[in-house]
Chain A
């Protein structure tokens, strides 16, 4: 049963939610948007940009987080996990699906990351579908879409003067108890919008068989060709909603053990204590990045590790486009015979 939320009632609803959650929504930061706590009197900002630069994964796996605090001779104490209830308003489907992918990393049979899990448990996600999907996004190509419901507790469709609200979980239902039902006309309009949005997105590359192509061509000169202009910075990985690699360091001067985002694109990421580096150049590291997303994730959880948000395409300083790389990969031979 879908509900209707009039846009001019949104502020009141957000205020109600703020009574027992810390509410996060995209807000202006310089000339783009960023998920920040929504303060009294502030409004979420959706018109500035399609999506935030930093994905909301940062709200669950912060760029830097202290794990332990220690003093020189005084032992250490664990930093408690953040369990204050939070509500993230306006998360896009690509980012929400990405959180479900990251769950498979941080919540495993043998071990569950307590910080990740505590935050996930304490947070409810209210999504906003993309009725005008972005040019650089390719969510539909990789099995997601502008109204993908994976990972969301509720999803909103922008109908102009109002939002159509679909609650997807119990947590989501609890948030929207005072709303009126959507009419048949509103439901139909929403469905049309959602379908049109999906159909407006071109297929960015053929995803069928991509894993096999990447695996078979491990030794191909293709990797050198596509990585030539790569600077080896961390923009694509840090802005990626499914990247999760981290580094743990002891900051002795501060007395904290800190977990920081790390990236396989840095030389030092795979540099071993002996001095040997199994990924000595950009070539191997680019191969690793693409293969991790489109082959190794599939090995692990039978899903592609990319939700097509398009941030890597939009913000790469040298304009590298993963969609073009994968189109090129599809042109490679399916089987490569190796001379012995």
Chain B
């Protein structure tokens, strides 16, 4: 469990000392399952800081809405730190104007998995030391092993530790096994094509084009998304099969070499659509072909930004 007092102390310090003008973290939600991203501007406000496994948003998504001159502090877990690195590489915010408070991550729990078991009327969710999660709901008391509630992206996380934070508060966790991430992709690829396609269509057809996935993703910051274009008309904007499929195909593809496998997209979706199987395919391809993972630092260009004649390519002739 994160040392909340140490986190608060550090956040207060950097505000008091003027290192940053604002610290981005979380506060308790108005409902038990949903803590909210919070923007603390004074040390006093930091008292409201909360940091628990239900904090399901990638805070790096907020970075792009602030002016580049603003000095910003942020609590970051492994994937969030990588997202920040990727954003810094893309010139979205200078690293000097950031202060990252790193927290080694034990995983985000998916509120849906709680509700599946306890019914929707949840009263409280408390993490116990030792890793169990105690849930009180109208249907009774439930205790879960955290591992049973983890969001899928966290179950296959490779880099839980923040790589380039200014300070790390908490014990480093063991790196995850890339084989876990690869297994998901390989297992899916091993299914017959018709099954893969059926799965893809089944997931895409629930889409209501609310773009929660896009807004939750730190790397989707285009002022005009490709779906907003009329000329050329890249994809249909409605809930038609071509539109819904095109949206999912392209949104994931635009993350190639940029996605840090945080899973915020999937967690944001109100229709419970699976989409990390798409981004993980692309992430795995980048690992295999170019030995590249997004956001491991803020200086290495991603594969699509690299021009080289040395590609081991399978192109004809």
Contacts and interface: CB of A to CB of B under 8 A. Distances in A.
Lowest 5 CB-CB distances: which A-B pairs, in order?
A319-B34, A64-B238, A321-B30, A317-B268, A231-B215
Interface string A308-331: 000001111111110110000000
Contacts of B57: 317-318
Interface of A: 29-32, 49-50, 53-54, 62-64, 134-136, 228-229, 231-235, 238-239, 247, 249, 251-254, 258, 260-261, 263, 266-268, 282, 313-321, 323-324
Most buried by B among A62, A228, A249: A228
Contacts of A323: 30
B238 A260 contact: yes
Given A233-B214, A251-B236, 16 more contacts: A30-B272, A49-B120, A54-B208, A54-B271, A135-B31, A231-B212, A231-B215, A233-B211, A233-B215, A234-B212, A235-B212, A249-B238, A258-B236, A315-B270, A317-B215, A319-B34
Nearest to A133: B121
A53 B36 contact: no
A50 B208 contact: no
A234 B116 contact: no
A4 to B, nearest CB: 28
A134 to B, nearest CB: 7
Interface stretch (B75-83, B125-133, B239-247, B301-309): B239-247
B212 A260 contact: no
A316 to B, nearest CB: 7
A257 B52 CA distance: 47
Contacts of A247: 237
Contacts of B267: 317
B209 A234 contact: yes
Contacts of B268: 231, 233, 235, 317
B37 interface: yes
A267 to B, nearest CB: 8
Contacts of A30: 206, 271-272
A253 B233 contact: yes
Nearest to B268: A317
Nearest to B212: A233
Contacts of A314: 31, 120
Contacts of B211: 233-234, 266
Contact of B31 (A64, A228, A313): A313
Interface in B11-42: 29-31, 33-39
Given A31-B112, A134-B121, A254-B236, A229 B228 contact: no
6 contacts: A135-B121, A135-B138, A249-B238, A268-B224, A314-B120, A323-B30
B46 interface: no
Interface string B247-280: 0000000000000000000011011100000000
Given A30-B272, A252-B233, A321-B31, A229 B36 contact: yes
Nearest to A325: B30
Centre residue among B138, B208, B228 by max chain A CB count within 10 A? B208
A213 B250 CA distance: 44
A67 B240 CA distance: 14
Contacts of A50: 120
A53 B35 contact: no
A135 B30 contact: no
B210 interface: yes
A32 B29 contact: no
Interface string B30-63: 1101111111000000000000000011000110
Contact of B34 (A49, A53, A316): A316
Given A63-B208, A232-B215, A53 B120 contact: no
B72 interface: no
A135 B243 CA distance: 35
A319 B238 contact: no
A254 B242 contact: yes
A268 B228 contact: yes
A53 B271 contact: yes
Contacts of B242: 254
A323 B31 CA distance: 11
A59 to B, nearest CB: 14
A166 B247 CA distance: 45
Contacts of B228: 268
A231 B209 contact: no
A90 B209 CA distance: 26
B163 interface: no
B270 A235 contact: yes
A325 to B, nearest CB: 9
B150 interface: no
A32 B30 contact: no
Contacts of A62: 239
